[in-house]
Amino acid sequence: MNVSRSEIRRYLGMAQVEPGKVESLIEDSLREITDAASMRYLVREFSLFWQDGCPVIDGEIVASKDLAKNLKGCTSVVFFVATLGAEVDRRIRRAQAVSMARAAVLQACAAAVTEALCEEVNQSVKDAAAEEGLICHPRYSPGFGDLTLDYQKTVFRKMQPERIGVTLNDSLLMSPSKSVTALIGREPVRMEESAA
């Protein structure tokens, strides 16, 4: 997995800091996070059609103009749930009791590893779509734009991520905290007519 060190420094607010000053702490923390992580994910495709300009995913209307823009032209949608697992949260909590600086670096490393995992899942979805003659739109998560966090309930009902240890609390936050849900639209490739 390719985890961006500059992304870790960005999460820490240290994008302009000379790499040598924090590199050792970042590398140690990244090693701890990757050792602690139990990376798991679920992917599932659903039908998509349109009704009055709104996407209808697996028979349910989604009233989100921003998601509708993202899915324009798509004929199906893939949901995914990805997580680093509960041990990562435990390591960060332990570090908070000893050193807030170390905890901050662990948190940034965990965020970067989560993003790298999501990119791997996203790429596998794109690769599978390409084999079917489809292209994928950028992934879109509940809480983006006007797609409210409340849509997490729908994602959880359809995906049942409890199977991989991910739960949703009453505030619509996921546990483990380093977990992501997303939708990826799949659109048929349009062949341009050749000039006669």
Per residue of the chain (196 residues), give pLDDT as tens.
888 877 877 777 765 555 566 778 888 999 999 999 999 999 999 999 999 999 999 999 999 999 999 999 999 999 999 999 999 999 999 999 988 888 999 999 999 999 999 999 999 999 999 999 999 999 999 999 999 999 999 999 999 999 999 999 999 999 999 999 999 999 998 765 333 4
Per the omega criterion (within 30 degrees of 0), is the bond before 176 cis? yes
In CATH, the number for domain 5-188 is 3.40.109.40
Q: Where are the domains of the chain?
A: 5-188
Long-range CB pairs of 191-195, under 8 A, 24+ apart, other chains included: none
